[in-house]
């Protein structure tokens, strides 16, 4: 098992959870998720950035750009840019709902897993 893709619903849940612990930028979120899951969860750029855009558009996160100043000589040159994402109050509410829903669904799936043996009907 080299790693599981996060399905979009779980992806939103996990990303909002990460952001609930503090603001972060896209690349850091990817790294964070991979590291904390020991490589079990992968969230590629093709999934991450559209998701973050959606969160921004729907007001679940707020954003701001950071100009990363390099250690090099030219301090006036335009540096690398980071887009920071911060969870909003609306985002926290959504996260709560998502967590609740996720747990409810998980419990429901679990309820199918190891019940008593039913007689074969034929």
Partner DNA sequence: GTTAGACATATCGACTTTTGATATATCTGA
Partner DNA sequence: TCAGATATATCAAAAGTCGATATGTCTAAC
Of 9-28, binders to DNA (CB under 7 A) are 9, 11, 25-28
Please state whether beta strands 41-42 and 4-5 pair in parallel, antiparallel, or not at all (unpaired). parallel
Q: Which is nearer to its own copies, 73 or 115 (CB)?
A: 115
H-only helix segments in the chain: 8-20, 26-36, 45-57, 89-111
Of 36-55, binders to its own copies (CB under 8 A) are 36-37, 40-41
**Residue 109 touching its own copies (CB under 8 A):** yes
SS3 28: helix
Please measure the distance between the N-terminal and C-terminal CA atoms of the chain and give it in whole angstroms: 39
**Residue 74 touching its own copies (CB under 8 A):** no
Choose among its own copies, DNA, none what residue 68 binds, the Cβ cut-off being 5 to 8 Å by kind: DNA
Of 56-95, binders to DNA (CB under 7 A) are 68-72, 77-83
Contact, 82 vs 69, CB < 8 A? no
Contact, 50 vs 14, CB < 8 A? no
Stretch that binds its own copies, among 46-54, 55-63, 72-80, 103-111 (CB under 8 A): 103-111
């Amino acid at each position: 098992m080299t790693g599981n893709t996060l399905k979009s619903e779980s992806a939103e849940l996990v990303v909002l959870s990460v952001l609930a612990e503090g603001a972060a930028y896209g690349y850091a979120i990817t790294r964070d998720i991979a590291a904390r899951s020991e490589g079990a969860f992968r969230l590629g750029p093709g999934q991450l950035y559209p998701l973050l855009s959606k969160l921004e558009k729907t007001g679940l996160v707020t954003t701001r750009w950071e100009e990363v100043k390099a250690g090099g000589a030219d301090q006036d040159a335009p540096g690398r840019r980071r887009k920071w994402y911060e969870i909003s109050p609306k985002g926290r509410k959504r996260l709560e709902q998502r967590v609740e829903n996720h747990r409810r669904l998980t419990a429901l799936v679990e309820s199918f897993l190891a019940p008593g043996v039913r007689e074969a009907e034929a």
